[in-house]
Amino acid sequence: MLSRLNLFLLTVLVFALLLLLLLRVDHSRPNYQVILANDMTYSPAYSAYAPNPNFADGRTFQRPVPGTLARGEQRFDFAATPQDAVRAGNELANPYPANSPERKTAVERGAAHFQVMCAPCHGGDGQGNGPVAKRGFPPPPSLVTGKSRDMKDGQIFHILTYGQNSMPSFVGQLNPGHRWELVNYLRSLQEAAPASPSAGPSDGQGGDKTGTASEASPPAPAALPAQPAATEKK
């Protein structure tokens, strides 16, 4: 009954079924593949963490060349010494031109940083009567009438970067942009203060400062009122 053709087709079918059973698909691994030209499937490029015989250290991923700056990073070739602070004052330029709208925004942002990072010691108005200073920490000089008034912008930037004596470094908390904003905020504080012939704590401001310090014994309210004022300006 079975013609030769049917017999042949039956053999093919049985063979195909057998193959299907033998070559059971394992979904946990890549299937069998026939790759004639390999180049689109497997890239000839080394992947970042693969060993690489072309480099002396045998790695694909190479360290950046010494001195490389990430995008947005700024060079700061100064040591943590008073001499270099003065040199920074002579060599670093304030990135915000005077009277520019950018500077105005920088001052506003600097005011916000100041209330968070600096007011605890320097006081909300920069007079040096922050709550920390009222509890035994060496009181900082006034930032409005003190020596910093005569410092160049870059020197203040250096102080914010490395600290100065008992003032800590802020390099971990404030990026260079934040530090320049603070420099400009301090400048605006100083510009707003009445000019005094020889800057020092003995002028009228200093007297006011000690007056408020002894009157308002809870220190927080003394420092806080300046905060909403600073944010309102935005």
Tokens 């010691």 sit at which residue?
A: 121
Burial 105-133 (b: 16+ CB within 10 A, else e): ebbbbbbbbbbebbbbbbbbbbbbbbbbb
Asked if 90 contacts 78 with a C-beta cutoff of 8 angstroms, the reply is no
Residue from 11, 12, 17, 147 touching ligand HEC (CB under 6 A): that is: 147
In whole angstroms, what is the distance from residue 112 CA to residue 98 CA?
Answer: 20
CB of 220 vs ligand HEC, minimal distance in Å: 15
Residue from 127, 148, 161, 184 touching ligand HEC (CB under 6 A): that is: 148
Residue 216 lies near ligand HEC (rule: CB under 6 A): no
Residue from 166, 202, 210, 231 touching ligand HEC (CB under 6 A): that is: 166
Residue 182 lies near ligand HEC (rule: CB under 6 A): yes
Residue 156 lies near ligand HEC (rule: CB under 6 A): yes
Closest CA to 113 of 219, 231, 233: 231
Asked if 124 contacts 224 with a C-beta cutoff of 8 angstroms, the reply is yes
Considering only residues 11 to 70 of the shown chain, the ones binding ligand HEC according to CB under 6 A are: none
Residue 141 lies near ligand HEC (rule: CB under 6 A): yes
Residue from 96, 157, 170, 180 touching ligand HEC (CB under 6 A): that is: 170
Residue 121 lies near ligand HEC (rule: CB under 6 A): yes
Question: Taking the CB of residue 3, how many other CB atoms lie within 10 A of it?
Answer: 8
Asked if 139 contacts 128 with a C-beta cutoff of 8 angstroms, the reply is yes
CB of 232 vs ligand HEC, minimal distance in Å: 21
Residue 164 lies near ligand HEC (rule: CB under 6 A): yes
Residue 165 lies near ligand HEC (rule: CB under 6 A): yes
Closest CA to 96 of 77, 78, 109, 87: 109
Residues that bind ligand HEC (CB under 6 A): 117-118, 120-122, 132, 138, 140-141, 143, 146-148, 156, 159-160, 164-168, 170, 182
